[in-house]
Amino acid sequence: MRGVGIVDTMRAGRMASVASGGPWWDPDEASRCVWGAWQAKGAASLAASYIDLSGNGNNLTPGVAPAWDAVNGWKFNGSTHWLDTSFVFAADRSQAGLAQFTNRTNSGVIFGSYYSTTRGMLARPADGTGVRYSNCSQLVVAPQMGVAGNVGVSGSKGYRDGIADAGVMNVGTGDGSGRSVYLGALNWGGVNTPIAAYCQAFVIYDCTLSAAQVLAVVTAMAAI
């Protein structure tokens, strides 16, 4: 990535290690389908925070770059900021995504791509009276999340703070849009429903994680 030096890359790799034996995106060395893992908290710079720490080379691309600091991570303003992951979801519930956030002040989408009611992957910590999840089909589960936590999807389930919420998301149809997942907003043929929140880390898996694997990853993310 232009503007990211080798020193930044080395620092990013070192900060990703955890004492439990594996990096935070695979703390129990059991989740081997990571597509991309990104960490803003503790990064050497904003540019370094875009680096895919999994080694797969799927670096984030700024649409409109958020503010950033090493303590809080990405600081999305709820209006213009977003990052492109380049990940195009499959409408078969075969993927997972988890985001660690703080200081949420609006009801925006923290990550997502959307095409229709049966073609979407997204997480929205506060939407009406609950949390909105989508991994092909949508699911809203009360109550809303607070100003900080971890939210995401895996397979047919939505997860808040590492615990599966009630309800099941159905299998959808083929996406057909080719829209990639945005971080900090929803990609709905353009930037939609951006979130006002700080985000410390985000990960995408190109497979379904078990409930135990999700909890292990979320616990490790909370300790970053």
The model's pLDDT over 144-159, given as tens digits with 9 standing for 90+, comes to 999 999 999 999 999 9
pTM: 0.90
Q: State percent of the chain over pLDDT 90.
A: 77
Span of 21-30, 80-89, 138-147 with lowest mean pLDDT: 21-30
Closest C-alpha among 155, 149, 211 to residue 139: 155
Q: What domains does the chain contain, in order, with CATH numbers?
A: 6-13+35-222 (2.60.120.200)
The answer, yes or no, to whether the previous bond of 66 is cis (omega within 30 of 0) is no
3-state secondary structure of 215: helix
pLDDT at 103: 98
Alpha carbon distance 55, 92 (integer Å): 25
pLDDT at 176: 65
φ, ψ (nearest 5 deg) of residue 88: -105, 115
pLDDT at residue 9 greater than cutoff 50 = no
* DSSP label at residue 160: E
pLDDT at 11: 37
Residue 174 — very low, low, confident or very high, per pLDDT cuts 50/70/90? low
Q: State percent of the chain over pLDDT 70.
A: 89
Span of 13-17, 46-50, 215-219 with lowest mean pLDDT: 13-17
pLDDT at 116: 79
Q: Residue 20's CB: how many other CB atoms inside 10 A?
A: 15
Residue 12 — very low, low, confident or very high, per pLDDT cuts 50/70/90? very low
